Amino acid sequence: MFEKAIDFLAIGDTATDAFIRIKEASVHCVVNTEKCEICMRFGDKVPFDYVKIIKAVGNSANAAVSAARLGLFSSLVTQLGDDQNGKDSLKNLDHERVHNKYVKIHKGKPTNYHFVLWYEADRTILVNHIDYDYKFPSIKKAPKWIYLSSLGGNSLNYHEEIYKYLQENPNTKLCFQPGTFQMRLGIKKMQHFYKRSDVFVVNVEEAQGLLNTESRDIKELLSELHAYGPKIVIITDGPKGAYMLDGEHFYFMPIYPDPKPPLERTGCGDSFASTFVCALIYGKSPLEALMWASVNPMSVVQYVGAQEGLLDKHHIEWYLEHAPEEFKPREI
User: What's the pLDDT tens digit per position in 143-172?
Assistant: 999 999 999 999 999 999 999 999 999 999
> Do 201 and 286 meet the contact criterion of CB atoms below 8 Å apart?
no
**Measured distance CA(201)–CA(158) in Å, rounded:** 21
Buried b (16+ CB within 10 A) or exposed e, 96-111: bebbbebbeebeebbb
Q: How many CA atoms lie within 13 A of 13 on its CB side?
A: 31
pLDDT band at 4 (very low <50, low <70, confident <90, very high): confident
**What pLDDT, on a 0 to 100 scale, did the predictor assign at position 57?**
96
Question: What is the structure's pLDDT at 184?
Answer: 93
Query: Residue 308 above 70 pLDDT?
Result: yes
Average pLDDT over residues 200-206: 97
Mean pLDDT of 51-73: 97
Weakest mean pLDDT among 71-80, 91-100, 115-124, 192-201: 115-124
Going by pLDDT thresholds of 50, 70 and 90, the confidence category of residue 33 is low
Query: How high is the pLDDT of residue 237?
Result: 95
What is the per-residue pLDDT for 122? 76
Q: In whole angstroms, give the CA distance from residue 195 to residue 242.
A: 22
Kindly tell me the sign of the dihedral angle through the C-alpha atoms of 207, 212, 215, 220. Answer: negative
pLDDT digits (tens, 9 = 90+) for 107-144: 999 999 999 888 887 778 888 889 999 999 999 999 99
Angstrom distance (rounded) from CA 203 to CA 210: 11
Split at pLDDT 50, 70, 90, the class of 31 is low
**Residue 158, CA atoms < 13 Å, CB-side half-sphere:** 23
End-to-end alpha carbon distance in the chain: 51
DSSP lists the bridge partners of residue 201 as 234
SS3 71: coil
Per-residue pLDDT for 272 more than 60? Answer: yes
pTM reported for the whole predicted model: 0.92
Characterize the bridge pairing of strands 48-57 and 15-22: antiparallel
CA atoms within 13 A on the CB side of 59: 24
Distance CA 148, CA 165 (A): 13
Residue 2 has pLDDT above 70, yes or no: no
**Stretch (H or E) spanning 253:** strand 250-253
* Nearest of 30, 54, 75, 230 to residue 125 by alpha carbon: 54
Architecture of the domain defined by 8-14+57-111+129-331: 3-Layer(aba) Sandwich (3.40)
* Mean pLDDT, the chain, whole residue set: 93
Look at residue 174 in the predicted model and tell me its pLDDT. 98
C-alpha closest to that of 93 among 62, 60, 63, 56: 56
Q: Are strands 112-119 and 122-126 parallel, antiparallel or unpaired?
A: antiparallel
Q: Is 190 helix (H, G, I), strand (E, B) or coil?
A: coil
